[in-house]
Amino acid sequence: MGASGITFVVAVLAATVMNAAVLCSGGGITSSFVRKVEKSIDMPLDSDVFKVPPGYNAPQQVHITQGDHVGKAVIVSWVTVEEPGSKTVHYWAENNSHKHKAKGSFTKYKYYNYTSGYIHHCTIKHLKHDTKYYYKVGTGKTARTFCFTTPPEVGPDVPYTFGLIGDLGQTYDSNITLTHYEQNPMKGEAVLFVGDLSYADNHPNHDNVRWDTWGRFAERSVAYQPWIWTAGNHELDYAPEIGETKPFKPFTHRYRTPYKASNSTTPFWYSIKRASAYIIVLSSYSAYGKYTPQYQWLEEELPKVNRSETPWLIVLTHSPWYNSYNYHFMEGESMRVMFEPWFVKYKVDIVFAGHVHAYERSERVSNVAYTIVNGLCSPKKDQSAPVYITIGDGGNIEGLANNMTQPQPKYSAFREASFGHATFSIKNRTHAYYSWHRNHDGYAVEADSLWFFNRFWHPLDDSTTSA
C-alpha cells in the first residue's frame, strides 16, 4: 500500500472513532454559531462581476453542462446580443493541434416587456474521458476561449469530487459563496446545483435582465466546469398577472439538460453517470403523483442503476423532505410519501435539496411504515435510507432561514442558519468524504463533515448522533 493509501485508511479510522464519540452525545446538534441578521442585497447592475465582455456581439453568459449519459459530451451555451453571430463551437484537446467544430442552434424569447438576446446551445460529442479540452465561441476579435476537463471513464472505484451549491442568487453573499467554492482546496470538478439560480422573479415584473446578470456572474465557474441543473421554484416564472403563463420559460430557453439520454420526456427530471456516481435529478414543481410522467420515469429508472458500475446513488431535488426549519415546512412531504419507499428499497446514498435558506444534515432515517390508519408517523433510523442534506444557503436576496422548530428532531444531525457551500468527494466504492463550509469562515474551515459509507458496498452505520 502506498503512502496515499495509508493516509486514506488512517483518516477513515480517525473519522470512525470521532463519529462513535459523537454518538454518546444523545442527539443532533444545532450549531452555536449565530450569523448576524442582516438583509441580503443584490449587487448593483454595474458591479464588475456583471461586466459585459468587450467588443461587438461578444459571447457572454457562457456555461456548460453534461451533454449525454456517461460524460463524453458537453452542452455549450452562450448569448450574443446584437445579432445571432456564429453557431459553431471550435474545440480541441490539450497538446493536440487538430481542431474540431460542432454546429449548434439559437433561440430567443420574450417575457413581458423584455426580449432576450440570441441564446445558443451546441452539443460537443464523442469526447475522450479524463481529457482537458479548450473551446472557442464567437468569431474574430471578440471570440472567447475557455476550457474544461471531461470526467474519468465510469467505473466503481473512480475518485471524483462534486461541489454542492443551491439557491445562489446574485447578492454580495452569493459572490462570497462562489468565491469560497472556487478557492476550496478540495477542488470540485463539477457542481451539483439544487435549484434557484437568478431570483429574477424577486424583481418587478420578473425583470429578466437579472437572468442576464446572473449568467455573467456565474460564468467564471460554469464556463469551465459543468453545473448539473435542478429546477427550483424561482425557475417557474409563472406570472399570469403580467400575461406570463408558461412555467419555466426563461430557464428552459437558457439552460439545457441531457434529459433525452435517460429517456426522460422533459428537461426537469433526468439522470447522468459521472465517474463512480449515478445522479438522478427530480422536479419538485412538476407532477409526480402515480401515473404521471415523472413517477413512471423514476419507477423505471431506479432498477437500471448498476451499483457494480456506479456505486454512489445521489438524488437532487429542490424542496427538502426532512426539514426542521419553519420555512417551507413540510412542502416536500407529498413527494416524500410518493418516492421514499423506492429510495429505501434501492439504497440511495444521499439526497441533496435546497429551497430552505440554511443548512441541515439528517441521519439515515425513513418514514415508510406510516399509513393513514396505523399512526406510525415518526421517522426511524434506517441504514438502508439516504442521508438528507439541505443546502439552500447560497446567499440569495431573500436572506437566511433562521427560525428553527424546537426541539430539534432526533433525525436532524446538524443544522445551522448560515450561507455556504459543500463538497462531496468520492474516494472509492466504499467511502466518500463530505464537508460543508460556512461563508463566515476561511474557505478551508469545515463547519460540518462526515465520512459516508456506501449503502451497497459498505453499509455500516455512519450516524453522528444517537437518533
Main-chain dihedrals φ then ψ at residue 366, nearest 5 degrees: -145, 160
3-state helix, strand, coil in the chain (%, to 5): 20, 30, 50
Report which of 415, 426, 421 is spatially closest to residue 446, judged by C-alpha positions: 421
Report which of 266, 334, 339, 332 is spatially closest to residue 298, judged by C-alpha positions: 339
Yes or no: say if 92 and 101 are a contact pair by the CB < 8 Å rule. Answer: no
**Could you give the C-alpha distances from 144 to 60, 83, 90, in angstroms and in order?**
9, 16, 10
Classify residue 190 by burial, with Cβ atoms within 10 Å: 0-12, 13-18, 19+: buried
Q: What 3-state DSSP class applies to 163?
A: strand
Yes or no: say if 166 and 391 are a contact pair by the CB < 8 Å rule. Answer: yes
| From 328, 357, 421, 437, the catalytic residue | 328
328 is catalytic: yes
For the chain, what is the total number of helices (H) and then of strands (E)?
6, 26
DSSP 8-state class, residue 174: H
The C-alpha angle 462, 451, 339, rounded to 5 degrees, equals 60
Report which of 177, 179, 184 is spatially closest to residue 162, judged by C-alpha positions: 184
Yes or no: say if 269 and 232 are a contact pair by the CB < 8 Å rule. Answer: no
Q: Which residues are catalytic?
A: 328
